[in-house]
Amino acid sequence: GRTKSEFSQRLPTTTNKTKYIMSGGKGKGKGGRGAGKSTTSSAKAGLQFPVGRIGRYLKQGKYATRMGAGAPVYLAAVLEYLCAEILELAGNAARDNKKSRIVPRHLTLAIKNDEELNKLLGGVTIASGGVLPNIHAVLLPKKSSTKST
């Protein structure tokens, strides 16, 4: 169980309540429940990807009859991580080509050079992405032996 001091820390005190009784004519007027904007579920989870929108899409997609509260948060976190990973590698590819902007070619190079991303996105075609530069060893010109004996 919890001790009495832990409960008393979480409960609002009477001195704080009297501060925010009037909403001051701004916003929706939430009574005495604190002042300020509403916090998005993305901000609560510490994510950039939209948790609420992903949750809405999960509901509208009829993937299941019911959905847990943590499902859109988890999915948003996974998608954000994948995007960050791909953009990191594509940015490196762009820098290697002395470019400041990521183009589809850089995405292709990033994905194809990474083993795990290549496995995940193996069947994906990126428009105007091209292919990895690769010439088979048989097709290369023979090394001319200049009297090595």
pTM of full prediction above 0.75: no
Q: What is the pLDDT along the chain (149 residues), one digit of tens a residue?
A: 655 555 445 545 555 444 444 555 555 555 666 667 899 999 999 999 999 999 999 999 999 999 999 999 999 999 999 999 999 999 999 999 999 999 999 999 999 999 999 999 999 999 999 999 999 999 999 888 776 55
For 84-110, the DSSP string reads: HHHHHHHHHHHHHTT-SS--HHHHHHH
Reference 48, options 71, 81, 70; nearest CA is 81
**Residue 17: what pLDDT?**
47
